[in-house]
Structure 1
């Protein structure tokens, strides 16, 4: 019977859309969070018979053509309670009649005094994005946005804390739909996981979004209130792995996995005013070690070996404060203002003992070559500091039910700095003792950033439910940087500047963007056509043009880039029925390199590696295509996405040998292209009163091809990932949660990263009599498998391997954490409108 109704609904829809010039229009949202609901069934009945019907588009909007008459308009969606407008009447004189927004509520059922709430799914897809609900990821609570993102199937976190989307580290971060100039990994580390409502992964953005970022856009949606009154929430977190605490025997440095922090958020909403504030602090120590094996080809055919092993502790500390207000000036106009402050310190120390010698590739002695074995102790520390300020003003004005103007002005100031301390000592291997200091280097930089962004966006809706959005989005950014390289004269114990390596830069990057998006529907098709134009005016000046670099090309004191680029985008979706949908999308994007990869600052990170920037870096260009199928019923949701991503003029991190000092040296350069072709699968299972299960994974072929120092590289691998999250309701008060993450080995431009896997679990207690409290006991890395391995090699133009490096990072586990949270809401009266708390955070 149900299939027959759906078939009748579709036939009636196809027959009426061509001829009807009147009907009912509106939009449908989730009552709890205000999200638009796509694929909702909207049908009109007379005498309990269906006479017309449509589905909502990806913005939750619908246009239902009707003839004159009186109808019941019924709204239905899986997992939600039905809603009905009774006795809706169209007269002969009426055209299209608009109704107020329909808020559908998640379905609930009462069984023996227990409320069973239907689940809306861990992941929800529409024509533009995938949205992940954070409430299902218990093992990420108490952490930050990075901890949460690492649970999602499209996203990975490497050993250095860099986040990648399908293997690509270059993407944009938006907060509540607003862009930021901050480095993604730095910004996401400062957002409390408890403050996040959902995460949007937008791999093919529409023209309204910046074209910057190969990996697309990650949009963090923060939590917001829905009722008038005062609310406050707070949480505390503490954790450790005392059984794994150690002290480095050479430096005396104590290493542990202690982590602690907490946060408080408060909001007040009354009538037209909403005010919110928040504080968040987190400190996390990571107890680990590194082993490495590197060899460098010499002129006599032997290899210089550097075999390293030692402790490698890391630390991450950050605190943030935010304050904001939203005020409804009138029914049509809302003004918002917000301020965000963040302070962050990421660092690591390394206490490596090196065994250096000359031998063949297998470490065997070579006749006529002196082995010249020497042991070296190399303690070094690398600290990155950042202070971040962001101020935002936003004005929204609705001229009528069909037109809207958004004006947003954002200012950011970031004070970024780095301190690196590197020392070498003689080492007596036989007696296991540290000897005299032989070298001491210090490198520091200071790179403050100022950025402004203006967005003027205008939306025009037409009677046929289509919409045109146009906008002007200029941005101005200025970064200055100074770099100091100091060395110690060991004999006299005096410091001196290494002036030939010191440098300074001043880079301005101004981008002027215009765009137009047109969206609408034809029958069961929804579409978005977009075109974006971006003109970049970039100027980078270098104080010391004779900087140290690894490329055979002349250096200059100024580098200018002036270019105009066009970025088309296309999104299509086809609603088969309430359960099934198809979509396709394509776009062209750009990735402009960050200053940290361009600044000609030479860092000696440890005994065996130098790192230097390349000011000649050019933008990368990306072509992206996706095909998507979605299926959903009351218990299961499945989303299958096939994707192709091709990057031209790709930037690779490349390594070569600095023969004068027998060390590796690393930089970035435009060397070739990459391609990814494969599929991603997300599935959500509602297990009813038992709990829920989410499984996601990807399988794709990855190719890296380029010319690196005259050697033609072509590396290929079949990559796959698998992630899962299981929540089980053990009782009315206890819930058990567990997740796992597995990713295969993958090739890089000059090597391979090894397979990685990790699992976590949590026990959650929510007291029945004290529902404002929640407690969780988490175990992180329960398999003690947090081991990251990678290898790198390079060849000269004759095909000889000039170096090979194999590295393994081991981080201790498991780690136990205890978290407590408290939430209080004091309500006044039911709000006439939904609060906009969270709309302008950060």
Structure 2
């Protein structure tokens, strides 16, 4: 609680700081004008007009020209300014100085003439005037607003189309084949994302997303956690001038979405908010499961079906205020609530051809089950930024509180030759994270920049599972102290970093840095736990980073980088609770897990020629103490007779190390003006080396190649009609005991813009030629083999719509707000599904 008070005290201090902050002249004016094409003499709408101080490098504000080419820059204090006007296909034009005074605060620039140019653009634009994918020196950006098939979908649907990213059929996210990736919202962590990543992404409306950033080699100023890298989801309506908003959504056979947003910006105060939700129609999924125990020659065959219903809603609010050009505060809050209900039934046959090796001849029993999962929470952050007079000299302080909860209530009921008693359970998990961070940036000279900072994260996690069993039909359910469990887990992280960036001759740039993180962990059983012991650990990690880049003719960039990352296990991996939801397929966490440590060397090449873009990388990654799930055969004693059944136990271990070579490629080309073709390919090797006792459980002993492929085509037709098609293919994902399934599908979309592009209607379809996507899994361990086949319903058809209102005037993103701060990307997500108690 004292940490919460500390965060509130910091935020309150921001609000009281105004009396100490300098202001500017009380008289403000405006700068206006009209942008015109030099040849046609016609106005240019949607040209970008940015205003700088005369010797400044960062824009103060900016607008887009209206349909008549006009622009107005309001609330301009008297002074000398530089105006920069840019438009796709035209060289930028700079007018310097433009002067306003106390006696003449308004300045009309009249007609500003832009001349077209055939020169290569300095900014990468992939789809004519609407770039879907941008490549930057430190990240890849996927502009969701330009993806016409995104309307009416969710974040998982969009992420499947982002270069280097793969999302499997369960919603688990991986970056270049590694699931140890942290997904952020506007550069900040989310408690909900930490606990229920797959479920939250399915509940996050795509209509709220502006773009998605992918960072594969973060520098030392980022948190060291997340071995694969960082995926940052940037939401819409961050810097809209005046009053504006919009509504959008979709109705379909699989999912229904709705979203609304509103932004108000008046002078130096900005307020925005959005709200959205979705629900899915009931989906029926059949599964066939087979397990063979080589020691007992026992086979276990199960056939089951499950029906799932899902709903969610999410909202956000943002407030920022600039006291003057040097001091500003921001505060944001985001909340989410969602849930799903699963009803299942199945039949199980256990048989052995040799009665001498087992008491089992043939057992047939049926099960019915129901599971109700509810998750929710909020993320609240507040920050203060002070800009010194020297350009780029900044100090920022941030605090954040993330709160998330998950509850899972379920019941399992048996009929026939019953292997266990009927049971119900109430599981709950609560996660509170408190973060405090300070960042400092100083341009030491024209060619040297220093960045330094410190950060502390305090996590408090509680997990409770109450089990009730029924011994005999008609008897009441009785609390089971042996099955019930509670566990409390605290994790504190203290970090500091320093990064130097050098601008060298001949277009070379060098960045080097170091970060030190100390982690302290304590876990203890709750009051209702039996047979569990407390544990604690502490370790310090040194994390260096290095990158050097070379630019040739402003069109080609080579970059060589080295990064070190760690991945701490989340509660799902640590909780020692024995989950017996399925009596024949049990699971348990391991509180003694160490974090994974990975080191990556990457060589990247990027080039663009006119509207075509090529980006290619080769990389090598060594990962030690890799965390994987292991299946082990176990004997299960029936509660109704002397029969001994044979099932499996899933636990987690640091099984060894892995060396991986990989290559990635994505490109875009416009063979004709109206057509854009994009492709993304990532391939990498998996060559595990198990250690110690885990060598006996390893069945994947070779070097395996895995890949994910994405391709799309966009066609722009007259009368504001656009068409798009895409295809996705992911290979099986290997583990030391087998493989998880491959899958692929295709999609189509069409959109018609209306009302001068303020509104649109569309039609989308996914997997139109196949109703289900097959999901096959094969695992081979010591003395057993196991396989499963699941057919997920995926085919969908839907109608989409959108409408925007208000003034279309966009302020360029403030460089102060573009820094990714508060990145708590340190928890290995596993299947990234919901967890509560032992789930």
TM-score by length of 1: 0.79
How far is the alpha carbon of 1:204 from its aligned partner? 1.3
**Residue matched to 1:539:** 522
Q: Sort the Cα spacing of 1:373 and 1:606 in 2 relative to 1 into closer, same or farther, 3 A.
A: same
Query: Partner of 2:156: helix, strand, or coil?
Result: helix
- 1:705 equivalent to 2:702? Answer no
Do 2:393 and 2:441's aligned partners in 1 also have CA atoms closer than 8 Å? yes
Alignment pair present for 1:787 and 2:763: no
User: For the residues of structure 2 that align with 1:356 and 1:836, how far apart are their CA atoms?
Assistant: 63
Cα offsets for 1:633-681 (capped at 9, x unmatched): 1121000011122210010111111213422111111111122211000
Separation in structure 1 between the aligned mates of residue 480 and residue 702 of structure 2, nearest angstrom: 39
* Equivalent pair of 2:317/2:333 in contact (CA under 8 Å): yes
| 2:323 equivalent to 1:329 | yes
Aligned partners of 1:696 and 1:603: how far apart in 2? 40
Q: Following TM superposition, by how much is the alpha carbon of 1:832 offset from its aligned partner in structure 2, in angstroms?
A: 10
C-alpha distance in 2 between matches for 1:831 and 1:153? 28
Q: Secondary structure at the match of 2:477?
A: strand
Q: Which residue of 1 aligns with 2:243?
A: 230
Tell me the CA shift for residue 296 of structure 1. Answer: 4.0
CA distance in 1, matches of 2:502, 2:820: 28
Q: Corresponding residue for 2:451?
A: 469
**Is 1:456 paired with 2:438?**
yes
Correspondence for 1:295: 291
Please, which of 309, 312, 315 is the counterpart of residue 315 of structure 1? Answer: 309
Following superposition, the deviation at residue 525 of structure 1 comes to 0.8
Query: How is 1:255-266 mapped onto 2 (pairs within 5 angstroms)?
Result: 257=254, 259-266=255-262
Distance 1:834 1:396 in 2: 11
Q: Is the 8 A contact 1:176 1:839 kept in 2?
A: no
**Alignment correspondent of 2:709:** 722
Change in 2 beyond 3 A, CA 1:722/1:464 = same
Q: 2: distance between equivalents of 1:80 and 1:649?
A: 51
> Residue 209 of structure 1: SS of its match in structure 2?
coil
Change (3 A) 1:756 1:766: same
Are the counterparts in 2 of residues 539 and 559 from structure 1 also a CA contact under 8 Å? yes
Structure of higher RCO (CA pairs closer than 8 Å, 6+ residues apart)? 2
**SS of residue matched to 1:356:** strand
SS in 1 for 2:221: coil
Answering whether residue 542 of structure 2 is matched by residue 560 of structure 1, we say no
Query: Do the aligned partners of 1:290 and 1:807 also contact (CA within 8 Å) in 2?
Result: no
SS of the residue corresponding to residue 445 of structure 2 reads coil
Residue in structure 2 matched with residue 393 of structure 1 by the alignment: 382
Q: Could you say if the C-alpha distance between residues 633 and 832 of structure 1 is closer, same or farther in structure 2, counting changes exceeding 3 Å?
A: closer
SS at match of 2:576: coil
Partner SS, residue 597 of structure 1: helix
How far, CA to CA, are the matches of 1:132 and 1:634 in structure 2?
Answer: 19
Q: Give the drift of 1:543.
A: 3.7
CA shift for structure 1 position 614: 1.2
Matching residue of 1:305 = 299
Deviations 1:475-525 (A, max 9, x none): 111011111222112245211222122221111111011011111211211
Answering whether residue 424 of structure 2 is matched by residue 442 of structure 1, we say yes
The corresponding residue for 1:94 is: none
Matches within 5 A, 1:684-699: 684-687=668-671, 689-699=673-683
Q: What is aligned with 1:525?
A: 508
The aligned residue for residue 205 of structure 1 is: 218
What SS is found at the alignment partner of 1:169? Answer: coil
Q: Is the 8 A contact 2:453 2:496 kept in 1?
A: yes
Query: What CA distance in whole angstroms lies between the structure 2 residues aligned with 1:208 and 1:592?
Result: 18
> 1:577-631 deviations in whole A, cap 9, x for unaligned?
2221100111111101001211122223435311211111111101111110111
User: Is 1:195 matched with 2:208?
Assistant: yes
Corresponding residue of 1:642: 618
Q: Size of the alignment, in residue pairs?
A: 715
CA–CA separation in structure 1 for the residues paired with 2:477 and 2:160: 43
**Do 2:128 and 2:611's aligned partners in 1 also have CA atoms closer than 8 Å?**
no
Residues 264-302 of structure 1, C-alpha deviation per residue, up to 9 Å, x if partnerless? 00001111111111111111246243333333427xx44
> Which whole-Å CA distance do the structure 1 matches of 2:799 and 2:812 have between them?
39
Distance in 1 between residues matched to 2:615 and 2:171, nearest whole Å? 28
Change (3 A) 1:32 1:592: farther
- CA pair 841-406 structure 1, distance change in 2 beyond 3 A: closer
CA offsets, 1:387-407, max 9 Å, x none?
211111111110112411111
Match of 1:775 in 2: 761
Tell whether 2:558 aligns with 1:571. no
Distance 2:285 2:614 in 1: 41
| Counterparts of 1:132 and 1:389, CA distance in 2 | 26
Distance 1:87 1:222 in 2: 34
Instruction: Tell me the secondary structure at the aligned position of residue 670 of structure 1.
Output: strand
CA distance in 1, matches of 2:169, 2:298: 26
Aligned partners of 1:813, 1:164: CA distance in 2, in Å? 20
Aligned-partner Cα distance in 2 for 1:674–1:80: 47
| Equivalent of 1:810 in 791, 807, 827 | 791
Contact 2:303 2:346 in 1 (8 A): yes
- Give the match for residue 610 of structure 1: 586
Q: Secondary structure at the match of 1:501?
A: coil
Q: Which residue of 1 aligns with 2:415?
A: 425
Q: How does 1:349-428 map to 2 (within 5 A)?
A: 349-359=343-353, 372-400=361-389, 401-426=391-416
Does 2:280 match 1:284? yes
What residue is the counterpart of 2:487 in the other structure?
A: 505
CA distance, structure 1, for counterparts of residue 186 and residue 96 of structure 2: 38
Query: Matches of 1:835 and 1:193 in 2, distance apart?
Result: 25
Q: Which residue of 1 aligns with 2:607?
A: 631
- Kindly indicate whether the alpha-carbon contact (under 8 Å) linking 1:288 and 1:810 is maintained by their aligned counterparts in 2: no
Residues 326, 837 of structure 1: 8 Å contact kept? no
Select the residue among 52, 62, 83 that pairs with 2:92: 83
Aligned CA distance change for structure 1 residues 27 and 838 (closer, same or farther; 3 Å): closer
Distance in structure 2 (CA, Å) of the matches to 1:830 and 1:664: 57
How big is each residue's C-alpha offset from its partner over 1:173-216, in whole Å with a ceiling of 9 and x where there is no partner?
22222233432434434432112121111111111111111221
Using the alignment, how far apart are the partners of 1:467 and 1:654 within structure 2?
A: 47
For residue 379 of structure 1, report the CA deviation from its aligned partner. Answer: 2.1
Is 640-649 or 700-709 further displaced after alignment? 700-709
CA gap of 1:176–1:466, structure 2 versus 1, over 3 A, is farther
Higher mean alpha-carbon deviation, 133-142 vs 399-408, is at: 133-142
Unaligned runs of 5+ in 2: 1-53, 65-81, 98-112, 119-125, 637-644, 823-839
Asked whether 1:825 is paired with 2:806, we answer yes
Shift of 1:528: 1.5
